[in-house]
A and B are shown apart, each in its own frame.
Chain A
Amino acid sequence: MAENKGVLVYGELTEGKLAAITTELLGCGRRLADDLKEDLSCLLASDMFGEASKEVIAFGADKVYEVEDPSLRQYQADSYMQVVEKLVKDTSPRAVLIGQTSVGRDLAPRLAFRLGVGLATDCLDLSIDPETKLLLQTRPAYGGNAQAIFSSELMPQVVTIRTKAMSPMERDESRKGEIISTKLEIDMSKVRTATLEMVKEEVAGVKLEDAPVIVSGGRGIGGPEPFQTTLKELADLLHGGVGATRPPADNGWVSEAMHIGLTGKIVAPDIYIAIAISGASQHIAGCSGSKNLIAINKDPEANIFKEAAFGVVGKYEEVVPAFTNKLKELLAS
């Protein structure tokens, strides 16, 4: 078998455009490839391509493998796996970087097990060990109460990377790279699942991943109503969105789309206002990238105060309306 070389990014597209995670993976991949003095390539699988491949180069790749097939219109494990497995075997990369996204969570373990190699999911940091040239893979464990550094000698080294954990490179249109159109036969008889229906569950208001301000509530909110009144009023004032920890989503107080945390959305707004949130590690994992975390909680010992830049101890029913009113007054003047 050929020696494994280079870094391969599994690229994701949303409506024909590069997904944010892909630019993040390319930023990280470029750094690793430079450390190794090897190439960075990117796989794009889709039913049609616009300018996405050029964008991949502008964001740092040396090579783009475009696999175009009508059956790749939507992610489906059994068809996509054929593409990824074949390309990885043909190109023998040293490392494969995949996003810790809906697609990546489903794809990466299948790939690693099919290839018989190791995998670290949800990595927060990656670096090259200067001696062994192996990838040092840092990921959280115990719901964020610890971090672990993994490595594996089996090639390729496969990882998934948490969204918003890596910085993209500055977009540079003058960068040169090669676009390789790759034709692969996809054997539809190997696709064992049938997608009967896609159901969209729209969430009104600002998209949490893009919101500059998020007002978030925990179990301590006590029911569905304050999310639509007290929290929403504050969020509206700041042109932000309303989020929640897992218990309100599991209890049906809010929709699952509002769930922020390890198994929900990962957000990194400028301002995150955590209301009646105790600060379980699983929730912090979803909002620790926020620039300013502000906590309001009646329990002075709550873990959230260890994460926050500003805090108020008190019942949210009393603190938040006064905070909102004062803010309204200050913003108007």
Chain B
Amino acid sequence: MPGVNMIVCCKQVLDPEAPPSVFKVDPASNRMTVPPDIKPVIGQYEEFALEAALKIKDKTGGKIVTLSLGNKLVRDVIKKTLAVGGDDLILLEDEAFEGGDSWSTAYALATAIKKIGEYDLIFCGRQSSDWDAGQVGLGIAEILGIPAVTLARKVEVTDGKARIERVVPDGYEVVEVAFPVLITVTSEVGALRYAALKGIMAAAKKQPTMWKPGDIGLEPAQVGAAGRRTKLNKLFQPVKEAKCEMIEGETPAEAGANLAVRLRQAKIL
């Protein structure tokens, strides 16, 4: 069979692995900030999504277009998608894309995907690594009017169909669906492979395709903050009062024994 046309949506996010103490809300803009030395990353679930696509490319052949939406996307962060084996990178990059919600993001991505035109499989992460909403993938599928399968842990393709292992609470179900289909991917797919030096060099030379709202036929009023269907009233960090009682001892073992005594005394155990 001819190669599979795949699109992977990737979001650049504040590094979710950064220590919790560096996350600070800027109350004026209602936005989360981290110090400038903490580099953004591609969301962890989008990395899994990209790995799912690469596994199919390894096995069946095909083309992977990665698509990212935002403003001030850091080139060497987002170009990782090319370095590991993506074929083309399209950036929806504009100030107007800022401050969007799941609705305006899914709408812009779906519109861009229509412009790309040819696709068999669209991959998204199960949820973003910053807002964790888990809406954009399903939203794209609804807007495009194509089926969607969520929480994939394995994806294989044969004869114009995808066979997907979908995680459910007590195990998984095997789902079959004809192309085109949108698939959201969970961590069990496996970590994204490392980029080989050759891949990094090739990616450095490649220029991403840049699309502004007008290039996909959207008005600035339809994207980003202007296109929201939800209102963010407030972003805040609840104050936690640390009240941990530290149990000590001459040695770690003694501290462990003292913990048992203290928990018995407090009638917790």
Mark A residues whose CB is within 8 Å of B. 77-78, 101-102, 105-106, 109-110, 112-114, 116-122, 136, 140-143, 145-154, 192-202, 238, 246, 249-250, 256-257, 262-263, 271, 279-282, 292, 294-296, 303, 305-315, 318-323, 325-327, 330-331
Contacts and interface: CB of A to CB of B under 8 A. Distances in A.
Given A78-B147, A113-B106, A195-B174, A326 B257 contact: yes
A113 B255 contact: no
Interface of B is mostly: mixed
Given A310-B247, A323-B259, 18 more contacts: A77-B147, A78-B147, A102-B167, A109-B142, A112-B139, A121-B135, A152-B230, A153-B231, A192-B147, A193-B147, A193-B176, A238-B269, A292-B268, A305-B246, A310-B268, A314-B252, A318-B251, A323-B256
11 contacts: A102-B167, A113-B142, A114-B142, A148-B236, A150-B230, A195-B174, A292-B268, A318-B251, A319-B259, A323-B256, A326-B257
Contacts of A102: 151, 167-169
Given A119-B135, A152-B229, A312 B259 contact: yes
B138 A152 contact: no
Interface stretch (B84-92, B186-194, B197-205, B210-218): B186-194
Interface of B: 14, 16-17, 19-21, 23, 25, 32, 101-103, 106, 126-127, 129-135, 137-139, 141-143, 147-151, 163, 167-178, 186-188, 191, 229-238, 240, 242-248, 251-264, 268-269
Nearest to B142: A113
A134 to B, nearest CB: 9
Contacts of A296: 256, 259
A311 B247 contact: yes
B260 A330 contact: yes
B176 A194 contact: yes
B245 A309 contact: yes
Contacts of A326: 256-257, 259-261
Given A113-B138, A152-B229, A195 B167 contact: no
Given A310-B245, A310-B262, A320-B256, A146 B102 contact: no
Nearest to B48: A250
Contacts of B260: 323, 326-327, 330
Given A143-B16, A282-B16, A323-B257, A193 B143 contact: no
Nearest to B16: A143
A195 B169 CA distance: 16
A146 B32 contact: yes
B247 A105 contact: no
A118 B32 contact: no
Nearest to B246: A311
A314 B255 contact: yes
A83 B171 CA distance: 26
Contacts of B188: 250, 256
A118 B257 contact: no
Contacts of B234: 148-149
Contacts of B142: 109-110, 113-114
Contacts of B170: 200-202, 257
Contacts of B191: 250
Contact of A315 (B141, B252, B258, B264): B252
Give the 5 A-B residue pairs with the shortest CB-CB distance, closest first: A314-B252, A322-B256, A323-B256, A118-B230, A113-B142
B30 to A, nearest CB: 8
Given A109-B139, A119-B230, A305 B175 contact: no
A118 B103 contact: yes
Contacts of A117: 229
A200 B76 CA distance: 42
A143 B132 contact: yes
Given A303-B20, A312-B259, A319-B256, A198 B251 contact: no
A200 B251 contact: no
Most buried by B among A119, A140, A257, A303: A119
A271 B268 contact: yes
Contacts of B127: 263
A136 to B, nearest CB: 7
Contact of B23 (A121, A142, A153, A315): A142
B236 to A, nearest CB: 6
A321 to B, nearest CB: 7
Nearest to B233: A149
